[in-house]
Structure 1
């Protein structure tokens, strides 16, 4: 019987793509004197290409952008700091994310989040969404010194919930880091199919959803 539900953060609860696009628009405007010859659509498109859905550190992304466009008088450190401090002001979740978590809590499920990333950055984003008040535990890879898909971080999350891994459901968008990792820890899995294509060499998740509301059908 499912007693605990664990979620990935980016592209599962937090709509990273939409949030990032809003931030990039503001950043491009803020540094317009440096980017005046770079149209926003070009800036946005190239950022996304280099970013690889968040799996390339923004230090590398900004270094490459400045080098490619030969921009002077602006450092990657300045842009990186702007990103690290400013992204949180643009974060938003997927449709009904708060209502879904609230209803799950009312149904007495133990809830948690496991996210890869830097501790302060991810914590600021979750605080901006007021996520901590809705879950029982949060594990951030840098703080835990473990990263998904290592099964140990999933097992640790289950332990903190006080629930056996077999009684946990993990919801995430990444086939390998989220779904395969959780499965290897003995959890049931739900793939939020909104970001990555499913690779041919991985077994499918136990369930697939296109919106968070569909979780209630799985749990019924």
Structure 2
């Protein structure tokens, strides 16, 4: 199996929940929405599962805001990249992977402006070979074609295998397996992805996933 590692972005390479909590507190404070508003926003977000148009429609109605949904959403996309952080251990690990001969890509669902800005502002852009963001390429995980495109942008063929690492059971684990990739689920050793999907490995975070890749020979079982 070739040395190809594809990573999800939100809550895999970056802590999207931490950034969202910061945004929610800032948003509520600027608009003086009250002490419970940030909690409501975080709950309504459902860890990013609520589609953004539906989320901001609910926000507008809940707090009787004058701004159109499109304006609220655009402001959010412009602000979030400044709030995301990538653990220095992850950045260093990605550099080590590439120095060891791995090709590294990011495969993410989301709006192109938001996701690509997160990648650049967090320092990830300089540490990967390629990025595929659904809003930019016109296809979304778990569509096999987005994995094929990511591999091609890394200069490799998906047919020769590799790894997909992510936190979403359907998009990352089921999608990766359908694409012929081995998979790592970022979710903690005491949990397993639901929906009947089984990952080849379960890790607590991206740094641990990178460590396994660095320790294991491609194509052989990892310790």
1:101 paired with 2:94, answer yes
Q: Show the counterpart of 1:120.
A: 113
TM-score of the superposition, structure 2-length normalised?
0.86
Give the CA RMSD over aligned residues: 2.0
* Helix, strand or coil at the partner of 1:189: strand
TM-score of the superposition, structure 1-length normalised?
0.87
Distance 1:26 1:212 in 2: 27
Q: Show the counterpart of 2:220.
A: none
Cα deviations across residues 116-145 of structure 1 (Å, max 9, x unaligned)?
A: 011111111111112111111100112211
In the TM superposition, what is the alpha-carbon distance from 1:182 to its structure 2 partner?
Answer: 0.8
Q: Show the counterpart of 2:19.
A: 19
Residue pair 2:108, 2:132 contacting (<8 A) in 1 also? yes
- Return the match for 2:173 from 161, 179, 186: 179
Q: Provide the aligned length of Structure 1 versus Structure 2.
A: 211
Distance 1:116 1:78 in 2: 21
Distance 1:170 1:60 in 2: 29
Residue pair 2:12, 2:205 contacting (<8 A) in 1 also? no
Q: Show the counterpart of 1:191.
A: 185
Q: Show the counterpart of 1:7.
A: 7
Residue pair 2:147, 2:179 contacting (<8 A) in 1 also? yes
1:47-126 maps to which residues of 2 (within 5 A)? 47-69=41-63, 71-94=64-87, 96-126=89-119
Q: Show the counterpart of 1:164.
A: 157
Change (3 A) 1:176 1:200: closer
Structure 1 residue runs without a partner (length 5+): none
